[in-house]
Structure 1
Amino acid sequence: MFFFKGRRRRKLRGRPLRPVWIETLRRNLGFYARLPESDRAELHGHIRVFLDEKEFEGCGGLQLDDEIRVTVAAQACVLLLHRKTDYYPELRSILIYPSPYRASRDVADGSGVVHRRQDVRLGESWSHGTVVLAWDSVRRGAVNPVDGHNVVFHEFAHQLDSEDGRTDGAPILADRSHYSPWARILGDEFERLQQRRKGGRKSLLDHYGATNPAEFFAVATETFFENPGQLKKKHPQLYGQLEGYYRQDPAGWPGGNE
């Protein structure tokens, strides 16, 4: 089974992308032109596999098209460059809404009584095989590669985080020896972000990352790819851990140090 899956994926990666898809990448992805040529070629192959294996579903009246699929797939696959990957093995479907959508969740108050609450969301990652995204937020985050916000990077970082069965801010690392510095550095940075949020002080990292370690990893991933030069300057140890995990140095891309 694994042999046939590997052979099928190699064949898919060997097929060139359609010219209209490449034009979509150039138009919709602000970071695409900054990628090294070898990375763009690798990304094209990953997009082919991703689109073949994952199901997309339009929600809230959204009519899916190739522009939506390719734009989402490309950003999800940037996180896979340079690494051995099984293409988000637990992920089966991507649900796309046209704009921010409402979702319900249960919240316990101080006395332990559970209340049903409705939130407006840009995206979410489910542990049982689904990512949900708002298309206008996806496109806005893709076109502007330096605003520090990218809902696809964020939600697919959660998918990577959950591959070991726990969404806890510690994805599967290449070697057991890497877990100790990862926990120490990301733990320290998480605590500092919590203190900055509590004190109302600005931070390069979005304050939402202070919610819990899983959200910190997702927010740090957004910042790593969106504001790499600033992250490397202001949080060099955090940048180093993410550079080692993703095996990429986006601060070294043209314009990456801005």
Structure 2
Amino acid sequence: MVAAAAVVAWILVEPFLRARRRARQRARTLDEADRMFLRRRVPVFVRMPKPLQERLEGLTLVFLAEKEFIGCQGITVTPHMKLAIAAQACLLVLGRDEHVYDAMRSILVYPGQFVVPGEWHDEHGVVTEEERVLAGEAWDVSRIILSWEDVKASGRGPDAYNVVIHEFAHYLDHEAGAFQQASVLAGELESLRAAVDQDEDTLLDPYAAEDEAEFFAVTSEVFFEQPGQLQRCHPRIYDALAGFYRLDPAAWS
């Protein structure tokens, strides 16, 4: 009985304690060396308004305090590696109140792309086992896996490739049903599939036509990396993502 009461008390008190811990973390700021690193490695940081820069710093510090980074295959995850991953992950929750990937516990970092076993189901129900080479994977709600080489490539300019944004968008989609929330995306996915079938050039990577989850993840990359182009070429997608993320990156100078 006492144990049960203690558990109930913890459930009631823990959100308050977490909010207080996070408030302390958000009150801190990055030192100038870390801020300069962000400017080099996360180009969107330079474009965003000062209040959003400050909010991103606070969310990043919360993320770094709460999540465990695990190096795999011999890689050592340095403080700047953690910072690059955390800041780009927190871009996606910049407009979402008090959300810092609450269920996530760890980020596994590999030196390069990694191999995972998988199964392929064809239209006849035949199952084929195969290995897949991946740059990242949202394994479940508690873990995300990333290739550091691909994380580094993600910070080299607004080329719409960003494995951190891609995988953390999968996390949010899984958690919140983002694709279903933005119902307009279903029609846009069908339009992209038709364009891909006709071999038309598109702003979006054809991989986005794979399924709903990949469409949301790929369009999220473009939303943050090439917001102006997405707004011009696919305004309905842009508006849907702006509503979900509660951000307007095309307006950032």
- Give TM-score, length-normalised by structure 2: 0.90
Taking a change above 3 Å as real, the CA distance of residues 242 and 110 of structure 1, as seen in their structure-2 partners, is closer
Alignment of 1:28-43 (within 5 A): 28-43=41-56
Instruction: Work out which of the two has the higher radius of gyration on C-alpha atoms and give 1 or 2.
Output: 2
Q: Tell me by how many angstroms 1:69 deviates.
A: 0.2
Alignment of 1:37-52 (within 5 A): 37-52=50-65
RMSD value, Cα: 1.5
Q: Tell me by how many angstroms 1:238 deviates.
A: 1.3
Taking a change above 3 Å as real, the CA distance of residues 229 and 125 of structure 1, as seen in their structure-2 partners, is same
What is the CA–CA distance in structure 2 between the aligned matches of 1:217 and 1:147, rounded to whole Å?
17
Which structure 2 segments of 5+ residues have no match? Answer: 1-13
Match in the other structure for 2:118 = 105
Question: Is 1:169 aligned to residue 169 of structure 2?
Answer: no
Q: Tell me by how many angstroms 1:27 deviates.
A: 2.1
Give the alignment partner of residue 81 of structure 2, picking from 68, 72, 89: 68
Which structure 1 segments of 5+ residues have no match? Answer: 171-178
What is the CA–CA distance in structure 2 between the aligned matches of 1:133 and 1:217, rounded to whole Å?
18
Match in the other structure for 1:12 = 25
Taking a change above 3 Å as real, the CA distance of residues 244 and 111 of structure 1, as seen in their structure-2 partners, is closer
Secondary structure of the residue that 1:239 maps to in structure 2? helix
Secondary structure of the residue that 1:169 maps to in structure 2? helix
User: Could you give the per-residue CA deviations for residues 1-45 of structure 1, whole angstroms, max 9, x where no partner exists?
Assistant: 111110110001001213332122122112221111111100010
Secondary structure of the residue that 2:179 maps to in structure 1? coil
Contact 2:141–2:171, Cα closer than 8 Å, also in 1:
no
Question: Is 1:116 aligned to residue 116 of structure 2?
Answer: no
Q: Tell me by how many angstroms 1:111 deviates.
A: 5.2
Match in the other structure for 2:169 = 157
What is the CA–CA distance in structure 1 between the aligned matches of 2:62 and 2:44, rounded to whole Å?
21
Paired amino acid for 1:160: L
Q: Tell me by how many angstroms 1:169 deviates.
A: 2.5
Q: Tell me by how many angstroms 1:108 deviates.
A: 3.1
Which one has a larger percent helix, Structure 1 or Structure 2? 2
- Give TM-score, length-normalised by structure 1: 0.88
Alignment of 1:195-214 (within 5 A): 195-214=194-213
Match in the other structure for 1:191 = 190
Secondary structure of the residue that 1:33 maps to in structure 2? helix
Count how many residue pairs are aligned between Structure 1 and Structure 2: 240
User: Could you give the per-residue CA deviations for residues 152-174 of structure 1, whole angstroms, max 9, x where no partner exists?
Assistant: 1110011111114x6x723xxxx
Taking a change above 3 Å as real, the CA distance of residues 237 and 109 of structure 1, as seen in their structure-2 partners, is closer
